[in-house]
Amino acid sequence: MRVLAERTDAQLVGAGDVLIHCVAALDNAGVGAITFLANPKYRSQLATTRASAVIVSPRDADATALPKLVTANPYATYARVASLFHPLQPVAPGVHANVALAPTARVADSASLAAYVVIGERTIIGERVCIHGGCVVGDDCTIGEDVTLYPRVVVYPKTSIGPRTIVHAGAVLGADGFGIAEQAGRWIKVPHVGGLVIGADVEIGANTTIDRGALGDTVLEDDVKLDNQIQIGHNCRIGAHTAIAGCTGIAGSTRIGRNCKIGGAAMIAGHLNIPDGTVISGTTGVLDSIREAGMYTSAFPILPHREWKYVASLVRRLRTLNDRVRALERDKPEQGE
């Protein structure tokens, strides 16, 4: 425990010589495990956990007699502890015999390219990059040092990926956006001649898709975190340290600021601006730009189905009811008449 406290800058309360060999959840931890409490609704489990130690905030420190790491941010401290027990495995350098490597591509000697990887012309693969089987990286791409591409990632031409970025399986980076022009009842494809620029320390979830720019680049700044199955349209810009949960859709040319948090299945229209520090609840529809940072929600809270139908019927009648109230107010005699 003493070593964990030193490595995480947390306050050690209790025995420092307790041996810890793994991390676990409150409800299934056993001897030798350290667990954590970040959500107060699980506070009662502190009394029954069989863990050897816990990570808690100062307000919960008195709720257990177990040895503990006390910290203002238990979840972040847990993440650091878990990383100590589960460090990233070093990359075994080498290029598999079945890799299709373009003659003008440059691959660092410390990089690892698995079977059936394809690397395009003039593409640069940096130091300690790990590209898993079945990935395709197109022409004129730059993959920074310590990047990991998990199986079947597709990186279209003119994409740049910054250092230490992680891209999970099935993601598609830099495909053409949904650009079409209508003429005489038919659609004309708009060429996408821009690129995709992804910063450092970004994480992109499985099967997420990010379109290249039509003119100019789509940009993800440093430390952006994307969950699985997100769609980001052409020419969007996502500010540094923003986190977006799964199944969110963002239409083209929208600019999202720094340090934003966007819940799952949010739908954000195109050509909008969202300021730094904005929080958007899950399933929220954003149809206009947001001018002031804050928390925004548009989804209706869950109700029993019969009650929801009743409320929905009232909502549909609101315009009629409003017109009736305004008519009554207009026709109401003035006092004293």
Catalytic, 234? Answer yes
In whole angstroms, what is the distance from residue 334 CA to residue 337 CA?
Answer: 6
Our CA angle for 234, 220, 289, nearest 5°, is: 65
Residue 95, SS3?
strand
Q: What count of residues does the chain have?
A: 337
* Helical H segments across 22-123, by residue range: 74-85
The answer to whether 107 and 101 are in contact (CB under 8 A) is yes
CA distances from 7 to 36, 80, 84, 286, 315 (A): 16, 8, 9, 42, 55
Containing H/E element for 175? strand 172-175
- The DSSP letter of residue 333 is P
CA distances from 110 to 113, 125, 130, 203 (A): 10, 10, 9, 22
The two structure tokens encoding residue 156: 């279209």
In whole angstroms, what is the distance from residue 271 CA to residue 273 CA?
Answer: 7
Containing H/E element for 331? helix 318-331
* Phi then psi dihedrals of residue 42, to 5 deg: -100, 15
The two structure tokens encoding residue 148: 């990991």
Which residue among the candidates 132, 192, 234, 241 is catalytic per the annotation? 234
In whole angstroms, what is the distance from residue 178 CA to residue 234 CA?
Answer: 8
Largest CA distance in the chain: 97
Determine the distance from the C-alpha atom of residue 269 to the mean position of all C-alpha atoms in its chain, rounded to a whole number. Answer: 18
Annotated catalytic sites, by residue?
A: 234
